[in-house]
Amino acid sequence: MKNILGENDRTAAENQALFKEKGVYVLNLMGSPGAGKTSLLEKTMEFLKDEIPMAVIEGDLFTSRDAERIEKHGVPVIQINTAGGCHLDAPMVQKTAQKLDLDKLELLIVENVGNLVCPAEFAVGEDEKAVVLSVTEGDDKPMKYPLIFKESAIALLNKVDILPYTNFDLAQAKEDITTLHPGMRVLELSCTTGQGIAEWCTWLRNRVKEKGKRA
């Protein structure tokens, strides 16, 4: 395991150097299956695609359904089919990034395979990680999967519009997240009502400005 991670880290560092040289801010978007990662990407594109040149790498176990959803928005998307592999790794992203015109991009979002465990262990060359947790998954998830919350720069509590129909304790989840990762940005989101989307886009826009071509 240590060797695998060491090798992955070396390739991740190469990817990171390339993205930095090209002025592309890279976000590794993680979360469980059904947390709403692709829906959030669709909302993000709706608001930012005309303003920020962006592309998406879609990690999926077997299908290209999510990539097809992204493609409809006219944003370049490349699918990585892991054929059952439960996370993306740096070599997969290295190979895939060669197919993108990095000179023209400012933002690359990598939607990882739906999984709260090992995506947090395998860097892909990203600037930062983000974790999406939907309120249907239960407020116990931060404490059960601490690494992904410790590693992420921002936690996105998704589907808050259906909060009244769940027993998700928002205050508890936020408290647990900030205990695990003091100072972490936590946003409440709903891709259905649009709640929090403007704040999320502002956060992302600022990251691109800080780290990307316009830095």
Interface with Zn ion by CB under 5 A: which residues? 86-87, 118
Q: Which one-letter amino acid corresponds to residue 207?
A: R
Per CB under 5 A, contacts with Mg ion among 15-44 are 37-38
Please identify, among the stretches 1-9, 19-27, 64-72, 174-182, the one whose residues bind Mg ion according to the rule CB under 5 A: 64-72
Among 66, 127, 137, 188, binds Mg ion (CB under 5 A): 66
Decide which of Zn ion, Mg ion, none touches 153; Cβ closer than 5 to 8 Å per partner kind. Answer: none
d(CA 124, CA 27): 10
- Is residue 176 involved in binding Mg ion (CB under 5 A)? no
Which residues share a beta bridge with 106?
none
Can you state the angle between helices 197-211 and 37-48, rounded to 10 degrees? 70
SS (H, E, C) 14-27: HHHHHHHHHCCEEE
Q: Which is nearer to Mg ion, 118 or 170 (CB)?
A: 118
**Cα(79)–Cα(89) distance, integer angstroms:** 14
The total of other beta-carbon atoms located within 10 Å of residue 84's CB is 8
Q: Report the residue number, 86 or 153, with the smaller CB distance to Zn ion.
A: 86
Minimum Å gap between C-beta 205 and Zn ion is 31
State the binding partner of 187 from Mg ion, Zn ion, none, CB within 5 to 8 A by kind: none
Kindly state the smallest distance separating residue 171's Cβ from Mg ion, in Å. 28
Task: Work out the number of other CB atoms within 10 angstroms of the CB of residue 102.
Answer: 16
Contact of residue 86 among Mg ion, Zn ion, none (CB under 5-8 Å per partner type): Zn ion
Residue 37 binding partner per list Zn ion, Mg ion, none, with a CB distance cut-off of 5 to 8 Å that depends on partner kind: Mg ion
Cα–Cα distance between 65 and 214 in angstroms, integer? 33
Q: How far apart are the first and last CA of the chain?
A: 37
User: Least separation, in Å, of the C-beta of 94 and Zn ion?
Assistant: 17
**Least distance in angstroms from the C-beta of 186 to Zn ion:** 25
d(C-alpha 115, C-alpha 105), whole Å: 27
Q: Interacting stretch for Mg ion, rule CB under 5 A, among 62-70, 75-83, 162-170, 193-201? A: 62-70
Distance of CA 59 to the CA centre of its chain: 11
Q: Which spans of this chain sit near Mg ion (rule: CB under 5 A)?
A: 37-38, 66
